A and B are shown apart, each in its own frame.
Chain A
Amino acid sequence: MKAAPFAYSRVANVDEACAMLASDDSARVIAGGQTLVPMMVMRLVRPTRLIDINRIVELSYIRSDGDTISIGATTRQCLVERDALIAADIPLLARAISFVGHAATRARGTIGGSLANADPAAELPLIAITLEATLAYRVEGRTEKMAARDFYIGPMTTSLPSDAVLTSVQFPKWLGKVGVSFCEVNARRSDFAFVAAAVQVELGDDGRCDRIAIGIGAATDFPIRLASAEQQLKGSALDAVTVKGAVLEALADFAPLSDLHASAEYRRRVAAALATRAVVDARSHALGRQLHAH
């Protein structure tokens, strides 16, 4: 359980990291290292060089930019967990973050690291897809942006160019009467999810659903949205029967992963149950009463 030898460079700025990536195909960026290091010690990956971006001060921040909250790539997960801006404006992220690993891994793990690592079971890519986040990266001296839905293309695979460094993520704020819910099933608390569901709703004055986002993670190669269910539920009262019908319909051609922990059929059933529960919970949350304690 020891990593293969590599060279280590601590860079002072993002462009230096990009230049190093461009000059060495087998170099990798390390941020918190909470997934990369286990992969290295199990020799699933063998980078020739680690480019440590932890000390780039300008990559660690949480700030409000108009109608979005922007989070720097190396911002530690534990900072997001305790941040008042996130709690107020991106409640779904605030709700999900305690499901990410354990306190000791959130102390080192970063927001950008988890997003760029693209583990199918990771919570942060699911939240990025559900909330339609935008990812910003630096490449060849330019800053580019990409929607989360275009960023994820496979398990542990993103469309980030090989010489690019993820620098920040923008989550849109939802205004109004917003409620959220996050549910997941796993073998042990904070272990890898078999299925996760993330829901954010916005209710109108009449209590009906004005806006809804339903995301399912850990069941497919990368997180997905239940777009047809969202369409169907907009304008409804989000009662359990309607929600369940819409979710089942949206999952009709859903082809979940099957592995030694959970079969595809099990994942399908759990996805339907969790998505339904999460929508109903999110509505209750928006109404200011939390009926189900987790």
Chain B
Amino acid sequence: MLSGVNYMRIKLMVNGAEHALEVEPRTTLLDCLRDHLDLKGAHAGCEHGVCGACTVLCDGVAVRSCLMFAPQAEGTPITTIEGVTPGPGELSPLQDAFCETHGMQCGYCTPAMILAAHALLAGNPNPTRDDIVEAISGNLCRCTGYAQIVEAIALAADRIRGANRPPELRK
């Protein structure tokens, strides 16, 4: 430990598990997730709130983890892309849909896109195309041109709704 550096003891609740950590207050939630908890799914892009690659869910709501300092996240349940799969080796309906519609190319924006979409579908199971575009408007993708991403989210929404329909009414 460097002399003169202030460390803080904090507790973070990430993907359902509590972690006791010692961090400098200036550590962003993003760096804390990546470097202290080895959760590399939250990506560091611009690191000043423009690109959206670092999106995580705070209490189910999509936020930029580069714009929060780690001590500010104490007491709030955090979900990262590592926390959305139903089980080891499985994919969530959204992740599955992104694979199927080629909703990713380089993959850098993908975890954030999927989390933004999770937050959208949690509150709006039947989003219009405009709702989807609005929900991911803060997430930059330089590969896909967004069309397949929008398609992926619409497909996932349709499947999640379908999963609750009786079999005879499913498409």
Contact = CB atoms under 8 A, between A and B. Distances in A.
B13 to A, nearest CB: 16
B72 A33 contact: yes
Contacts of A40: 26
9 pairs of A and B residues whose beta carbons are closest in the complex: A102-B138, A8-B25, A38-B48, A1-B47, A3-B26, A37-B67, A107-B61, A104-B62, A104-B138
Contacts of A54: 72
Contact of A41 (B6, B47, B139): B47
A5 B49 contact: no
B126 to A, nearest CB: 18
B69 interface: yes
B80 interface: no
Interface in B28-61: 28, 31, 46-49, 52, 55, 58, 61
Interface residues of A, number: 30
Contacts, number: 89
A146 interface: no
21 contacts: A1-B48, A3-B26, A7-B25, A10-B71, A30-B72, A33-B67, A33-B68, A34-B64, A34-B67, A37-B69, A38-B67, A41-B28, A50-B69, A52-B72, A54-B72, A103-B62, A103-B116, A104-B55, A104-B62, A105-B138, A107-B58
Contact of A108 (B24, B25, B67, B116): B67
A5 B5 contact: yes
Nearest to B2: A5
A6 B138 contact: no
A42 interface: yes
Nearest to B61: A107
Contacts of A42: 48
Contacts of B25: 5-8, 50
Interface in A221-272: none
Interface string B1-17: 00001101000000000
Contact of B68 (A4, A7, A37, A101): A37
A220 B154 CA distance: 42
A294 interface: no
Contact of A34 (B5, B46, B49): B49
A190 interface: yes
B57 to A, nearest CB: 10
B26 A5 contact: yes
A2 interface: yes
Contact of B24 (A5, A33, A41): A5
B36 to A, nearest CB: 14
B67 A189 contact: no
Interface string B70-89: 01100000000000000000
Nearest to B116: A104
A283 B14 CA distance: 50
Interface of A: 1-8, 10, 30, 33-34, 37-38, 40-42, 50, 52, 54, 78, 101-105, 107-108, 189-190
Contact of A102 (B6, B48, B69, B137): B137
B100 interface: no
B35 to A, nearest CB: 11
Interface in B62-119: 62-64, 66-69, 71-72, 116, 119
B22 interface: no
A3 B6 CA distance: 14
B18 interface: no
A20 to B, nearest CB: 14
Contacts of A78: 61
Given A105-B67, A189-B137, A6 B26 contact: yes
A54 B62 CA distance: 18
Contacts of B72: 30, 33, 52, 54
Contact of B137 (A33, A37, A50, A190): A190
A107 B26 contact: no
A103 B135 contact: yes
